[in-house]
Amino acid sequence: MTAAVSLRGVSRHFGSVKALDAVDLEIAEGEFFAMLGPSGSGKTTCLRLIAGFEQPTAGHIEIFGERVEGVPPYRRNVNTVFQDYALFPHMNVLENVAYSLMLKKVPKAERSRTAETALEMVKLGGYGGRRPGQLSGGQRQRVALARAIVNNPRVLLLDEPLGALDLKLRESMQEELKSLQKRLGITFIFVTHDQGEALSMADRVAVFSDGRIRQVGTPEAIYRAPNSPFVADFVGSSNVLPPELVERLTGERRWASLRPEAIRLGNGEGLGGTVVARSYLGPVTRLAIEAAGLRLHAALPSTSALPAEGEQVTILFDRDALHLMESDA
């Protein structure tokens, strides 16, 4: 089966800066794929290369089996949704959505019908006569989505599209994006620095750092079985245990990750420590505990009896909750 998007040894250098460095990646047709990483990790550069806004320094890119180096964005079967929406303020909503159809010289009546259908898909039926300035942030985001899907692209690229929205609206739009992708059945490639967004929305996630992909896998695999201290720390803020301590606990001298929710406090053989901070997070309370020369974090039910700051505790966890990692970077 032909991949929707394929990158082979793709690099993008700006002088001595390697924004993307020898990346290999395959994204399946109909997949909701997330590119996750901190600022400057290479994820947005990767998206821009797929879109055609940048050209690779080395390697090649295929979209549904066709090489696209040198092919301009408007001739690729992809569309992009930007964080700032990029709507035309002087046009109404329907004109914004129908703009690409106008450029293709689609008759006015047909493009109006097609644009209205796209607006209905994003729950904005009847909003065509309004101007972007009359809409909320979430509504403008939906208009940008409608404009991106109106000409039936096979791949939709989304560059941190929810970053400008408040938390409650962002969570609502996450659900709507997933629902829209399932209805359309096309490939979504979503760039984000937000671990929660990537884990909750994507079928698979690629974690970027320093221009390279550190790990690709399902959200559960990335969360529960990170392959390096960087991935463990960045995705879900796991406790990263150094080889010396892991050797003491398991007999194997390797880096390991331990999720905060895997820790419990009690009596018995474990790590002794002192609670140095408490953060109430609703259903759970996050404790910072200094133990074995490290600051470890535990996520415990807020309804349970919890120790105060300065109190001595014993950290316990099941052996299979300790994930031994492949890499030390």
Distance separating alpha carbons of residues 190 and 154, to the nearest angstrom: 14
User: Domain 5-230: which topology?
Assistant: Rossmann fold (3.40.50)
* Tens-place pLDDT, residues 97-132: 999 899 889 999 999 999 999 999 888 888 999 999
Distance separating alpha carbons of residues 172 and 197, to the nearest angstrom: 11
Tell me: pLDDT of 162 over 80: no
Domain boundaries, the chain: 5-230, 239-324
141 — pLDDT class (breaks 50, 70, 90): confident
> In 3-state terms, what secondary structure has residue 14?
strand
* Residues in Cβ contact with 132 at an 8 Å cutoff, skipping those fewer than 6 apart: 85, 87, 88, 89, 91, 93, 96, 140, 143
Average pLDDT, the chain: 92
Strand partners, 296: 289
User: Domain 239-324: which topology?
Assistant: OB fold (Dihydrolipoamide Acetyltransferase, E2P) (2.40.50)
Name the nearest CA neighbour of 49 among 71, 75, 64, 29: 71
Strands 294-301 vs 284-291: parallel, antiparallel or unpaired = antiparallel
Share of the chain above pLDDT 90, in %: 74
269 — pLDDT class (breaks 50, 70, 90): confident
Please give the pLDDT value at position 164: 66
Q: Which two tokens stand for residue 185?
A: 């059945």
DSSP tag of 40: T
For range 76-82, the mean pLDDT: 90
Distance separating alpha carbons of residues 53 and 98, to the nearest angstrom: 22
Q: Around 131, how many Cα atoms within 13 Å sit in the side-chain half-sphere? A: 6
For range 270-294, the mean pLDDT: 95
Tell me: pLDDT of 230 over 70: yes
Tell me: pLDDT of 160 over 70: yes
Where is average pLDDT lowest: 41-45, 66-70, 137-141?
137-141
Strand partners, 291: 273, 294
Cα torsion through 281, 284, 290, 292, rounded to 10: -140
Name the nearest CA neighbour of 170 among 146, 147, 201, 211: 201
Tell me: pLDDT of 167 over 70: yes
Owner of token pair 């550069």: 45
Name the nearest CA neighbour of 63 among 52, 49, 77: 77
Distance separating alpha carbons of residues 181 and 157, to the nearest angstrom: 12
For residues 144 and 161, the answer to whether their CB atoms sit within 8 Å is yes
Please give the pLDDT value at position 1: 65
Tell me: pLDDT of 65 over 80: yes
Distance separating alpha carbons of residues 291 and 39, to the nearest angstrom: 31
Angle at 306 between CA 283 and CA 245, to 5 degrees: 100
Please give the pLDDT value at position 123: 87
Q: Around 166, how many Cα atoms within 13 Å sit in the side-chain half-sphere? A: 4
Tell me: pLDDT of 328 over 90: no
Distance separating alpha carbons of residues 12 and 22, to the nearest angstrom: 8
Tell me: pLDDT of 169 over 80: no
